[in-house]
Amino acid sequence: MKDHVHICLSIPPKFAVSNVVGYLKGKSAISIAKNFRGRQRNFNGESFWARGYFVSTVGLDEKMVLDYIRNQEKDDEHRDQLKLQM
């Protein structure tokens, strides 16, 4: 499924998760608009990312979560192929 992004971050406790996510979404949307839409300024009224986000903490299973993120696209493609064969 190519309509979402998975990111595993380590954020120091002094930063609020909402601020970090807002910063990442804002800066990446501006960069995408500049590089792929040819915009140089005036991004008012445009939206690239969905309004919300999902956050979960990772403790002892960080390796498992990282493996899931790395293999997500391959797993989704495999599931899509199984649906086509039915």
Q: Which residues are catalytic?
A: 68
Q: Three-state SS string across 7-68, please?
A: CCCCCCCCCCHHHHHHHHHHHHHHHHHHHHCCCCCCCCCCCCCCCCCCCCCCCCCHHHHHHH
First to last CA, the chain: 19
